[in-house]
Chains A and B, each alone.
Chain A
Amino acid sequence: MKHLRRRGTRTVLAVIGVAAVLATSACSINTAKSGASSADGSMLIAADNGSPTFERNFNPFSTSKRVTATYMYEPLQVINTLDGKATPFLATGYTQPDAKTIIYTIRTGVTWSDGVEFTPADVAFTFDLIKKTPALDNKGMWQHIESLEVDGDTVVFHLSSEDVPAASIIDQQLIVPEHIWKDVADPLTFTNEDPVATGPYVLDEFTPNQYTLKKNETYWQADKVAVEKLVLPAANSQLDVVNNGYDWAYAFITDVEGTWVKADEQHNKYWFPPGGTIALVPNLTKAPYNDVNFRQGLSLALDRAKIATDAEQGYVDAAGQSGLLLPNQEAWLSADLPDGGQVAQDSGAALAAFEKAGYTMNGDKLVDADGAQVSINIMTANGYTDWLQGLQTVQSQLGAMGIDVKLSQPQPAAYYESLGNGDFDMAMTGFGGSGSVFQDMNLLLNSEFATPVGTTTTGNFGRFSNADTDALLARFKASTDEAEQKNIAGQLEQTVYDQLPVISMFYGGLWGLYSDANYTGWPSADDPYAPPNTYNSTPLLILTHLEKAK
């Protein structure tokens, strides 16, 4: 017995010992580590994540390309996705003589990084290439284009229908050099290890854990490029981003003030502009979601500001019911929308709307005519923790209205499958953010996307279908007159506001972190010339705008 007791004491002591070792090692993290970037003109970017190392693939058409392929290959124009404004790159601009024709003037004096001259023939070649190999046509150019031809310094696009907004699509096509790509046997599997492009950067050194891009000295606007070298590590964990002195990172980071900003209070800044609207999509093919009064009730029952704060830590604002990204698209906001489209929580009005839909309050439960409690199921993707937190707030707010809310969280791939097939009651999803009001509204409302439940669609997941709205969209598409476009947009906003094909909740942020220690001139709320993301073509706007810090 005595022996056992002694053993017991020792066990306790050993446990305490191990615990003490763990506890004493808890001390504050040192954030004073100096970054890899410095006055030598290089810049450390968290833009491209290896998995876990990099594969050398700079094929600009590939889905698994290195992110920075878009820093090398330029499009005709770069569209600021925040407000839709286009900046000319390989084109100097375009004209639309009628709604079925777009004439791009191609920039002269541009050379490819191997010294060969860039010509309008390269543009025509690129479009022919993606016509011949439709798998390369990521943005669906040939759904809009009928044919094209080179005419002197211009390329003339003949569209398949009256399609004014097609320019905002054609703008984005990355152009590849004919003299290289004409000899590529299979452009789909080509990994393009030594990219030849027109952009501000060329590939410098490539290793599996890190690669660098260096400034293209023959770039057509080389005087605007201040950063001599971009350094891209394969591993960019949040701890790395905070500790390693990055100049530019794109990351959702918890407590940004206490982490990123605190690491260098003088220089580390952040900007989280809205990049899309996060909304609840009711499945309009099912009851009770097909009843606009019921949707109205749901919308009025929500306190959007609280949902936004709970989901995104106060980084973003609540979204109104206009369908627009605000303040980005303020110019398009219809003056007829009450309160700029904002919807305030109003449980009395919500109850009235539910009553119109045939539901009444019985005790603390909202019940239908048979006395059964209203129960709704909301789907979100597993692992999107911010969305889940927002949904839990929705759950409690609707719960207060006597509605039983269940959440389902399939894996992302399964979530997208169900979303596309219409296999859900209500789903949380994002919409908008392409920069073009027409494209955003079209993807949201056009009945063309409202395919039967069970077949895949890529927009209008709730299957909204209204002939008047389709007619409005068709007129929008064919209109070259900005005043008319705005008038139509206003009517579409009214539709989103009244019909609630989606119940907007808050804006999804673009999580831009940057340091002005080495470079200044970053986009910000005061100067939103580009979104702060490190992917797609908009980084070209930033990289040709930055200046060395003084």
Chain B
Amino acid sequence: MRFLLTKVGLLVLTLWAAITLNFLLPRLMPGSPADAAIAKLAQNGPVSSATRASIEAQLGVPTGSMVDQYLQYLNNVAHFDFGVSYTFFPQSVAGLVGAALPWTLVLVGLVTVIAFIAGTLLGVLAAWKRGTWLDTLPTVGGTFASAFPYFWTALLLLFFLGYVAGWFPTSGAYRSGGTVDFTGEFLLDALYHSILPATTILITSLGGWILGMRSTMINTLGDDYVTFAEANGLKPGTVAIRYAARNAILPNLTSFGLALGGVVGGSLLVERVFNYPGVGYLLYTAVVNQDFPLMQGLFLIITISVLMANFIVDILYGILDPRTRR
């Protein structure tokens, strides 16, 4: 019980620190939201002083002292009120995040799970069949693919499979002229649109899981109890999965927990390349437009989910491994 209380106390403290940082960071960026709006307008012609005044009045750019702003902000956060976005004025931040979140959760979330399962299995296989092509291909291929930057893989796939071959749609999460509903037709369409971004994330994240699993697995394979199991004449499959892999998976499971927490942040570059309407794209839009309210809302949700994932992993570890409780 004391273990749990300490953990909860720590969680509250980090949460407060995150919320406060979240308030400060956007304000440390040079330039104001009005400057960002003018930067966009100025590309279309000269901006008069009246336009600037009008923009500032429309956005309601914060004017009070930092302390006032901070107290106001804490109060709003407590009420889950993140205000109105500057970029998408007059849309509310909560509404925008709510619209973007499902896309990211499904796309990045599912792919993270698939990558974890496939990568771990391939890692087990690579370690077990060390030195054969079953080891070389996933290991080298994984290293190679994960060494590519996300966006570069995304651009390659987009260009060759989207434009040159014309097999897949090149942007968006569903067809032009479509609206979001829950018919089979729409879901199929959404699935079709998610193939390229999903493949990108899969290709670039698979390698990490393979390599991580392979190296711990090789360590485990050298342990006495594995040799003992083999000497007892157990089936190779049983030894590999039930003895070696089961023990080797712990570190990978930790990273998996953290990766799941990070899912909420989306995959900024991939979503940007494919015009995917997820959290990553929203974050990008918020940052380039100095959209303080939107940035705060997004960062807060991302930090909270990472913190929660951390917390759950911590608790799980306490249960799985009694030594960590002290």
* A189 contacts chain B at the CB level, 8 A cutoff: yes
Interface residues of B in 34-57 (CB under 8 A from A): 35-42, 44-55, 57
B163 touches A29 (CB 8 A): yes
A276 at the interface (CB under 8 A from B): yes
User: Which one of B42, B44, B50, B177 lies within 8 Å of A137 (CB-CB)?
Assistant: B50
Chain B: CB-nearest residue to A531: B45
Query: Of A87-95, A119-127, A234-242, which binds chain B?
Result: A234-242
Q: Identify the stretch in B130-138, B233-241, B253-261 within 8 Å (CB) of chain A at 4 or more residues.
A: B130-138
Q: Contact between A235 and B275 (Cβ–Cβ < 8 Å)? A: yes
Q: Which of A52, A140, A411, A431 contacts B275 (CB 8 A)?
A: A52
* A207 and B31 in contact, given A18-B144, A413-B36 (Cβ under 8 angstroms): no
Give the residue of B40, B41, B58 whose beta carbon is less than 8 angstroms from that of A62.
B58
Q: Give 1 or 0 for each of B272-313: 1 = CB within 8 Å of chain A CB.
A: 000111000100010010100000000000000000000000
Please pick, from A26, A29, A139, A411, the residue contacting B48 in the complex, using a CB distance under 8 A.
A139
Q: Which residues of B contact A239 (CB under 8 A)?
A: 159, 163, 170
A15-B166 in contact given A51-B285, A533-B44 (Cβ < 8 Å): no
CB distance from A244 to the nearest CB of B (A): 9
Query: Which residue of chain A has its CB nearest to the CB of B169?
Result: A235
Residues 396-421 of chain A, each 1 if its beta carbon lies under 8 Å from chain B, else 0 = 00000000000000111111111010
Other contacts beyond A18-B144, A140-B48: 5, CB < 8 A = A25-B164, A52-B276, A207-B178, A234-B275, A381-B39
Q: Which of A290-298, A360-368, A454-462 contacts B (4 or more CB under 8 A)?
A: A454-462
Nearest A residue to B47 by beta-carbon distance?
Answer: A458
Interface residues of A (CB under 8 A from B): 3, 7, 10-11, 14-15, 18, 22, 25-30, 33, 50-53, 55, 62-64, 81, 134-141, 143, 188-189, 191, 205, 207-210, 233-235, 237, 239-240, 243, 275-276, 381, 410-418, 420, 430-434, 439-440, 443, 449, 456-459, 533, 535-536
Is A411 a contact of B31 with CB atoms below 8 Å?
A: yes
* Nearest chain B CB to A70 CB, angstrom units: 11
Task: A336 to B288: give the CA distance in the assembly, Å.
Answer: 46
Q: Is B89 an interface residue (CB 8 A)?
A: yes
Pairwise interchain contact A210-B177, C-beta atoms closer than 8 A: yes
Instruction: Please determine whether A430 and B42 come into contact, CB atoms closer than 8 angstroms.
Output: yes
CB distance from B276 to the nearest CB of A (A): 7
Q: In the complex, are the beta carbons of B46 and A64 less than 8 A apart?
A: no
Q: Is the CB of B88 within 8 A of A413?
A: no
How far is it, in angstroms, between the C-alpha of A260 and the C-alpha of B214 when the chains are bound? 49
Partner-A contacts on B (CB < 8 A): 29-33, 35-42, 44-55, 57-59, 84, 87-91, 131, 133, 136-137, 140-141, 144-145, 156, 159-160, 163-164, 166, 170-172, 174-180, 271, 275-277, 281, 285, 288, 290
Cβ B177 vs Cβ A205 within 8 A: yes
Cβ-defined contact, A275 with B275, below 8 A:
no
Docked-complex contact B50 and A64, CB < 8 angstroms: no
**A51-B281, A63-B89, A64-B88 known; A237 vs B172 contact (CB < 8 Å):** no
Which one of A62, A138, A208, A416 has the highest number of Cβ atoms from chain B below 10 Å of its Cβ? A416
Contacts of A33 on B, CB cut-off 8 Å? 166
Q: Check if B52 sits within 8 Å of A458, measured CB to CB.
A: yes
Residues of B with C-beta under 8 A to A210: 176-177
* Whole-angstrom distance between the Cβ of A436 and the nearest chain B Cβ: 10
Asked if B171 and A240 sit within 8 Å, CB to CB, the answer is yes
CB-CB under 8 A for A234 and B172, given A7-B131, A52-B281, A64-B89: yes
If A459-B49, A535-B44 touch, does A413 touch B290 (CB 8 Å cutoff)? yes
Question: Contacts A135-B54, A139-B50, A209-B174 known; A276 to B89 CB distance under 8 Å?
Answer: no
A10's contact among B32, B46, B84, B136, by CB below 8 Å, is which? B136
Query: Are B30 and A275 neighbours in the complex by a CB distance under 8 Å?
Result: no
Contacts of B177 in A (CB 8 A): 205, 207, 209-210
Question: Is A434 touching B46 in the complex (CB atoms < 8 A)?
Answer: yes
A457:B49 contact, CB within 8 angstroms: yes
**CB proximity of B11 to chain A, nearest CB, Å:** 34
Among A7, A25, A432, A439, which residue has its beta carbon within 8 angstroms of that of B136?
A7
Once the chains bind, are B87 and A51 in contact (CB under 8 Å)? yes
Nearest neighbor of B179 in chain A, beta-carbon distance: A207
Chain A residues with Cβ below 8 Å from B57 are 134-135
Contact of A143 among B31, B50, B178, B276 (CB under 8 A): B50
Please give me the residue from chain B that is nearest to A13 by CB atom: B136
Distance between A209 CB and nearest chain B CB, rounded to angstroms: 5
Cβ-neighbour of B140 out of A11, A240, A420 (below 8 A) = A11
State the CA gap A222–B30 with chains docked (Å): 49
Q: Which residues of B contact A191 (CB under 8 A)?
A: 90
Which residue of A has the minimal Cβ distance to B32? A417
Cα A481 to Cα B47 in complex, Å, equals: 27
Pull 20 A–B residue pairs with CB atoms less than 8 Å apart, ordered by A.
A14-B141, A18-B141, A18-B144, A30-B166, A52-B171, A53-B172, A139-B50, A139-B51, A140-B49, A191-B90, A209-B178, A237-B171, A240-B171, A276-B46, A413-B35, A417-B35, A430-B42, A432-B46, A440-B46, A449-B49
Complex interface: chain A residues within 8 A of B133 (CB): 10
What's the minimum C-beta distance from B320 to chain A, rounded to whole angstroms? Answer: 35
A52 touches B277 (CB 8 A): yes
CA distance A156 to B144 in the complex (A): 72
CB distance from B90 to the nearest CB of A (A): 4
Across the interface, do B30 and A22 meet the contact criterion of CB distance under 8 Å? no
Residues of B within 8 A of A418 (CB): 30
- The CA-CA distance from A63 to B88 in the complex, in Å, is 9
Chain A residues near B88 (CB-CB < 8 A): 51, 55, 64
Interface contact B90-A412, CB-CB below 8 Å: no
Pick the most buried of B51, B91, B275: most chain A CB atoms within 10 A of its CB: B275
